[in-house]
Amino acid sequence: MTAYLVRRLLRALSTLLGTTLIVFVLVRVVPANPAVSIAGPKADPETLARIRKDLGLDDPVLVQYGRYVAHLAHGDLGESYLTGRRVTDVILSRLPATALLGLTSLAIGFFGGLVVGVFTSARHGSATDLGVLLVSLVALSLPTVWVGNLLIYTYGFRLGILPLGGYGTVRHLILPAATLAFGVFFFYARFVHTNVAGTLTSDYVRTARAKGAPPVRIYLRHALRNALIPIVTILGLDVASLMSGVVLTETLFNWPGLGRMAVQAVFSLDVPLLAGTVLFSAALVLLCNLVVDLLYGAIDPRVQRG
């Protein structure tokens, strides 16, 4: 187990190092002058040259990349051009809002979809199963922005019972969380149904039924547990995606999270803030993948032995 963990950590670190190279190259090809972003478009050439020298932008590219990696190793993502604050501090200040929205919507959508998926898999081919399938296909084809605007119009504008946007109370959380949970719910309802229905035809399930095992034990212990590996894989990716910021939803509801911050960084050409957000998202994806890999062994001991 220790050797497996070490291999996974080394693979994650190498992937993260490759990501830093990609981000560094992309930052250099962005049509934005850092000196102009800091001093303003009306700054004189002498001021711009001094800023470029202070930032080390006139050094060779390899020197700049080495300095960039060295700063990253110490947790330094640079400073925002517009605010002058450390990018790490800015990200950490926005992370709680994104975590609240992402984890709330994921919990509602996942557990609701899990229940519906197991329920419909037990009635595979029935009218209920086909009805849920059709509704899921229609729901998953709806754009998130359209769903969010519909909720805002209905419950914020027409009925006036919920805020149109913002952050601070539970009432502000309901609409953006419902917007994200909408797609998550129907996705997992179909995904769980497909994987659980596939395990119900397995030999060990037929054996359990022949031995007189109750239906609840068959569906939860035998069918669901053996279908958990692909479910946990997708769940880990969703956690990373939602925690790294949901751009459209946060922008639509004026939610002060990482996604909205990334949009603001793009429009203001704040390259360090945007690059720091990308690297944070990549590190989060790698961390979630590592946790998922370790969970495989707990779910199915055969994976750990393999």
Residue 55 lies in a domain: yes
Residue 111 lies in a domain: yes
169 in the same domain as 59: no
Question: For residue 255, what pLDDT is reported?
Answer: 92
Residue 86 lies in a domain: no
96 in the same domain as 68: no
57 in the same domain as 96: no
Domain-terminating residue out of 73, 101, 130: 73
Angstrom distance (rounded) from CA 141 to CA 135: 10
Q: Are 149 and 220 in contact (CB under 8 A)?
A: no
Question: For residue 231, what pLDDT is reported?
Answer: 82
Closest CA to 245 of 282, 210, 220: 282
Query: What is the full per-residue pLDDT of the chain (306 aa) written as tens digits?
Result: 677 677 778 888 888 888 888 888 877 766 666 666 666 667 777 777 887 777 777 778 788 888 888 888 888 888 887 778 888 999 999 999 999 999 999 999 999 998 888 888 877 777 877 888 888 888 888 888 899 999 999 998 888 899 988 888 999 999 999 999 998 999 998 888 888 877 777 777 677 777 777 766 776 666 777 777 788 888 888 888 787 768 889 989 999 988 888 888 888 778 888 888 888 888 888 888 888 777 776 666 555 555
Closest CA to 241 of 282, 291, 292, 290: 282
169 in the same domain as 29: no
Angstrom distance (rounded) from CA 57 to CA 55: 5
The H or E element spanning position 171 is: helix 170-199
69 in the same domain as 95: no
Residue 84 lies in a domain: no
The total of structural domains in the chain comes to 2
Angstrom distance (rounded) from CA 213 to CA 223: 12
106 in the same domain as 67: no
169 in the same domain as 220: yes
Domain-terminating residue out of 73, 100, 126: 73
Q: Are 120 and 191 in contact (CB under 8 A)?
A: no
Residue 53 lies in a domain: yes
Question: For residue 266, what pLDDT is reported?
Answer: 81
Residue 78 lies in a domain: no
Question: For residue 181, what pLDDT is reported?
Answer: 92
Question: For residue 30, what pLDDT is reported?
Answer: 65
Residue 295 lies in a domain: yes
Structure tokens at 184: 């998550």
List CB contacts of 240: < 8 A, sequence separation 6 or more: 281, 284, 285, 287, 288, 289
Range of the domain at 298: 91-305
Residue 80 lies in a domain: no
Catalogue the E-assigned strands of 32-141.
none
Q: What is the pTM assigned to this prediction?
A: 0.80
List CB contacts of 128: < 8 A, sequence separation 6 or more: 120
Structure tokens at 149: 């605007």
Domain-terminating residue out of 45, 73, 101: 73
Q: What amino acid occupies position 265?
A: A
Question: For residue 286, what pLDDT is reported?
Answer: 84
144 in the same domain as 56: no
